[in-house]
Amino acid sequence: MSELTEKKKMLKELMKQLHAGAQPSEVKERLKQVLEGISPLEIAQIEEELIKEGLPREEIQRLCDVHLAVFREQLEKQKPEITAENPINILMEEHKILLQILEKLSILSNKVQQAKDASHLGEEISQLKQVADDLLDAEKHYLREENVLFPILEKHGIKEPPAIMWMEHNQIREKKKQLRNLLNNYSAMNFQEFKAKLAQTAQFLSNSLSSHVFKENNILLPTALRVFTEQEFMDTAVLRPNV
């Protein structure tokens, strides 16, 4: 058995331990050792194998959040070199924009939480509506991934990681719509109820979208860089428009 095959086997076992309830701190050092030399493509392939072995897709999604907390340091050491004009880089740059929007959402939500009433929040509410519109406008980004990027990955046998990312897209879509509806109706709501719902929605988006971006930047997109052919990169030119 090759060293890589052995490491993949050990990594699968450690992920299963996390699934069984082991704390990340209990397996962190062992994971660091195993991850030396394992690429994002191989992590994606391991997730694929776990699902084929019967682990539900929703559980792999939950596991992603757990094991990425442990993998983060190692994955960030494997940042791919990529040209500015590469379509994959365009997606990563759009992710930076999305994270900036999330930061605005967090700042504005915190300002609302500190207010005793809505009497002086006109500017903050206006800015929050713009943030909600900006997040909804990122639908163009998701659709390009779903219609162009994911199908090519699937053609190369990378099926489950894109499916999990698509599932997360749908969860994030729903919350973005809830945010916009909440802001459209805030004047008719009890202020304390509005604050509570805004805090909950903003926190969900901050956690879910930032985690989603990290997974795409450090596993899905580097995997695409490994498996796409030159022609496929040319075919992904439609990915170029910005958010």
Q: Does 215 map to a domain?
A: yes
Q: Which residues contact 58 (CB under 8 A, 6 or more apart)?
A: 167
Q: Does 52 map to a domain?
A: yes
Domain of residue 96 covers 87-239
CATH of the domain at 233: 1.20.120.520
Residue in 166, 120, 162 with CA at minimum distance from that of residue 142: 166
Q: Does 82 map to a domain?
A: no
Do 126 and 68 fall into the same domain? no
**Through-space distance between the first and last CA atoms of the chain, rounded to whole angstroms:** 46
DSSP labels for 76-116?
HTTPPP--TTSHHHHHHHHHHHHHHHHHHHHHHHHHHHH-S
Do 175 and 58 fall into the same domain? no
Say what the pLDDT of residue 81 is. Answer: 72
Do 37 and 59 fall into the same domain? yes
Say what the pLDDT of residue 71 is. Answer: 61
Say what the pLDDT of residue 195 is. Answer: 95
pTM: 0.77
DSSP labels for 40-89?
HHHHHHHHHHHHHTT--HHHHHHHHHHHHHHHHHHHHTTPPP--TTSHHH
Say what the pLDDT of residue 70 is. Answer: 59
The domain tally of the chain equals 2
Residues of the chain predicted below pLDDT 50: 242-243
Say what the pLDDT of residue 42 is. Answer: 76
Q: Which residues contact 170 (CB under 8 A, 6 or more apart)?
A: none
> Which of 76, 101, 124 corresponds to the end of one domain?
76
Say what the pLDDT of residue 68 is. Answer: 64
Say what the pLDDT of residue 79 is. Answer: 65
> Which of 76, 108, 141 corresponds to the end of one domain?
76
Give the pLDDT confidence of 196-231 residue by residue, as tens digits: 999 999 999 999 999 899 889 888 898 898 888 877
Q: Which two tokens stand for residue 213?
A: 């971006």
Do 66 and 110 fall into the same domain? no
Say what the pLDDT of residue 243 is. Answer: 46
> Which of 51, 76, 101 corresponds to the end of one domain?
76
